[in-house]
Structure 1
């Protein structure tokens, strides 16, 4: 599943490649997740220039003048480049054909990726935009495990399973810690880790991808992954389910309860 750093890089690539180009045709292949009809979506977007592509939480926002198309890739959704005259990728949901002959397709074998025209403004702040005071208040108020809070999109948008593990390891905080039990100075460290881990991942993925819309990059992970047996500092990587998802951690991480 693409997470915040992957999506940030996708937004950068799409902006570089398609910003300022006119959407000549929008092919709608799957309609079940749309909040408008296919005809309405085409009428609102076709013929307009793409003014920007931005990431908000776990979604991409395609700005066509006053119209915004939000895309949530969900679990298996991907973006694939397409060219004029070529066949669409298998499992295409939407295909964007721009002036100049290039474009891209939203693809998902599960058909769960969700396009939304002019979505409501989310109330929770983005992980990279929230301030430290907000972060501290949210965790102080919660009796849940800290990893659950980090991944709660109604409180903090953008952090998924993989990067929650990476952030917690970087701060040396156990994912099983009760949020409200974590000392303030440790929360400050966790906030710093959140920012640095995500920003470093964005830089690394951007360097690796260049201008290609590749899938999410996991080679940079330090503890999250079944193939990783030890952390960079030599501790054994363990795994356990939290909220139905596999979490990776080490004994280097302090438990607060």
Structure 2
């Protein structure tokens, strides 16, 4: 799943490719991906792209008409969605079917350039919105502060954790608390902070809060820097190569050499290092325990 660093890099890449250029055609291929219908996404045709931005993990392409009235194409790539930039799109319109293609956007110039939105798998969660104001989208309206924004200070972060009864892993992933962090980077932040994913958020000392705040910022900024300047097609591989614990169960921790462990849930899993994060004690994996009974 693309998270804040990948969407930030994708935003910069698309800004270079799209800003100042006119949208020739928009083909909505998978109706399931469309979350808004008025105005239709085809109203973007003939508009000039003014800006490309980001709201948490939402990608926002702003296009203006001749009267400078704006529409926003807002995309959430979800777990299995991706944007594929292409210099030579087929000239014929795509046909709806069972393939991964959800939407195609073609530029007027250079002819043939544009992108495809695709989604693998059977769980269709890719979300495409065409709105006049991104705040109309419930997922954006409920977003917490952006952790890379200058105003996201230690005091702001401490205030978000105050009174939280949940575990750190759940708090970091909650888009209503902090925007843009998902399953992978919450694992990475907690590893960098040397904290258990099960540690209660409200129980942190001032020193622990400061340590987690620093780990959060440095982990995300480092990931953004690694992805900066990369083409869209290279971002997935860069994310995977830069992860220290997430997705690396059974491998040695790059800090201490202990074996990275995993806790599995119904639709996701977390990874952590016992030596670095839990005092050497493995966390209970209830799913595995049930299998061993």
Shift, 1:156, TM fit:
1.0
Match of 1:70 in 2: 74
Larger deviation: 160-169 or 31-40?
Answer: 31-40
Q: State whether structure 2 residue 276 is matched by structure 1 residue 252.
A: yes
Computed over aligned residues only, the root mean square deviation of the Cα atoms, in angstroms, reads 2.2
* Number of aligned positions between the proteins: 252
CA distance in 1, matches of 2:234, 2:117: 13
CA distance in 1, matches of 2:17, 2:233: 10
SS at match of 2:276: coil
* Inter-CA distance 212–241: structure 2 relative to 1 (3 Å threshold): closer
Q: State whether structure 2 residue 14 is matched by structure 1 residue 10.
A: no
* Inter-CA distance 6–228: structure 2 relative to 1 (3 Å threshold): farther
Match of 2:148 in 1: 128
Task: Give structure 1 regions of 4+ aligned residues with deviation exceeding 6 angstroms.
Answer: none
* Inter-CA distance 154–39: structure 2 relative to 1 (3 Å threshold): closer
Whether contact under 8 Å (1:91, 1:108) holds in the other structure is yes
Q: How does 1:1-257 map to 2 (within 5 A)?
A: 1-37=1-37, 40-43=40-43, 45-65=44-64, 66-82=70-86, 83-85=88-90, 90-99=99-108, 100-101=110-111, 102-109=113-120, 110=122, 111-118=124-131, 119-120=134-135, 121-123=140-142, 124-129=144-149, 130-206=152-228, 210-216=230-236, 217-226=239-248, 229-233=251-255, 234-241=257-264, 245-250=268-273, 251-253=275-277
Larger radius of gyration: 2
CA distance in 1, matches of 2:163, 2:38: 43
Unaligned runs of 5+ in 2: 65-69, 280-293
CA distance in 2, matches of 1:84, 1:140: 51
Whether contact under 8 Å (2:196, 2:277) holds in the other structure is yes
Query: What TM-score results when the alignment is normalised by the length of structure 1?
Result: 0.90
Shift, 1:131, TM fit:
2.6
Render the CA deviation track for 1:47-73: whole Å, top value 9, x for unaligned.
111111112111101111321111001
CA distance in 1, matches of 2:165, 2:38: 44
CA distance in 1, matches of 2:102, 2:234: 18
Unaligned runs of 5+ in 1: none
Whether contact under 8 Å (1:94, 1:106) holds in the other structure is yes
CA distance in 2, matches of 1:160, 1:204: 18
Render the CA deviation track for 1:22-62: whole Å, top value 9, x for unaligned.
0011111122342433872212x111111111121111011
Query: What TM-score results when the alignment is normalised by the length of structure 2?
Result: 0.79
CA distance in 2, matches of 1:145, 1:246: 15
- Structure with bigger helix share is 2
